Copies of this chain bind each other. A is one copy, B any other.
Amino acid sequence: MTNTWRRGAAHPEPAPERRATISDIAAAAGVSKPTVSRVLNQRGDVAPATRRKVEQVAAELGYVPSTGARALRTGRHGALGLLLPSEPWGGLVDIVYGVSEEAAARAMHVMVFPLPAGRAAERQFTTRTLPHLPVDGLVALMPDDMVPHQGIIPLSGAPVVAFDDRGTRPGIPYVETTNREGVREAVGHLVAHGYRRIAFASGTSGLAFAEARYEGYLDGLRDAGLPHVPQRVLRSEDDMPSDDEIRELLTAEEPDGPPDAVVAGWDEIATAVGHVVHELGLRLGADIGLIGFDDRPEIALMIKGLTTVHQPLREMGQTAVRLLLEIIEHGPGPANATVPTHLVVRDTCGPHAADGTPLPPEKS
């Protein structure tokens, strides 16, 4: 538990005499400071010759603008904040990368702020830290337990965009995905492949995204004119349904037989379903169809080729930044954005005869 600290090789001295300023450039180029400033900020009213000269001198001097001075003068920081839930989750990486990517493309930096765990620490964060953040705007992944707080919006007046489908906060623009339509499409896909007794397995019922996916399941049944059989719906209060619950779902004795396909609320649940299917001696994609949601890459390790609804976290991150920048630059003309899911067809929903007889697999 104790760390070992060792002496290492010496840190090479970068020897930065003193960073060059626009005054230095002005002097060296024989012009005035404002002219240098104009050149550096790409403003039009500069003679081409002067421009070239200044640019050359700036490069020679290795000029790097002082973000501090610029922030002081302009009141903008050139940075966005990304508020993260206290609990890490694999998908966060994609969001972080999407946000960073788009921010970088707009010459903005990204600061990350995992919310401290615990009621007290969280409160202290929102009151003490949030208002001070040196950012021009905030992308907030608001966890459920933050909902009560109204203090989300930084006192600094920086605009906020919510990245959230666990329940929406009124008055805050947000980015969402097509949870409902995605599942609806998944059900349609199963139907098109011959599955008829389609079950739904999910958890954390009550949260907005889980509800939306359930609605999508119902939509899908309706689209196909299939009956809604309550015994084919598993909506656990917990994060994950237990293996027992899944077993019960898969072996539910209905007049027309047990489920021949399952749509899972998200990939981890699909994994669990896959295990139980295996246990029962059934073959995924033949005897039983299975579709997940999220398309998390790490899932590939558990289920060979899970057909799943891709949730575009990375694109959602990019979109959140675009939305936020729009608000920052053109004022609060707030809009929401929806980034569509799409179905990724792999191996777990092969063709299937409506009478329950598995068809020979088609080539993928």
User: Residues of A at under 8 Å CB distance from B?
Assistant: 1-16, 19, 62, 64-73, 75, 77-79, 88-90, 92-94, 96-97, 100-101, 104, 109-114, 116, 129, 131-134, 153-157, 159, 170-174, 268, 271-272, 298, 301-302, 319, 323, 327, 332, 334-340, 342
Contact = CB atoms under 8 A, between A and B. Distances in A.
A8 B173 contact: yes
B337 A3 contact: yes
Given A8-B334, A301-B268, A339-B3, A155 B16 contact: yes
A96 B88 CA distance: 9
Contact of A155 (B2, B14, B174, B298): B14
Contact of A10 (B88, B116, B332): B332
B319 A3 contact: yes
B11 A132 contact: no
Contact of A335 (B8, B14, B16): B8
A78 B79 CA distance: 13
Contact of A7 (B5, B172, B335): B335
A342 B156 CA distance: 44
A151 to B, nearest CB: 11
A3 B338 contact: yes
A111 B110 contact: yes
Nearest to A278: B278
Nearest to A178: B4
B64 A132 contact: yes
| Copies of this chain | 2
A89 B112 CA distance: 17
B336 A8 contact: yes
Nearest to A338: B4
Contact of A96 (B96, B172, B335): B96
Given A7-B336, A8-B336, 5 more contacts: A68-B68, A68-B71, A71-B71, A71-B72, A271-B302
Contacts of A68: 68-73, 75, 77, 134
A88 B79 contact: no
14 contacts: A1-B342, A3-B339, A6-B336, A7-B335, A8-B174, A9-B334, A11-B327, A67-B71, A90-B298, A104-B129, A109-B113, A109-B134, A272-B301, A302-B302
A356 to B, nearest CB: 28
A153 B271 contact: no
A71 B159 CA distance: 23
Contacts of A101: 114
Given A96-B114, A171-B11, A16 B156 contact: yes
B157 A16 contact: yes
Interface centre among A71, A131, A155 (most CB of B within 10 A): A71
A271 B338 contact: no
A128 to B, nearest CB: 10
A332 B302 contact: no
Contacts of A9: 170-172, 334
Interface centre among A93, A131, A132, A156 (most CB of B within 10 A): A93
A288 to B, nearest CB: 19
A334 B11 contact: yes
Contacts of A1: 340, 342
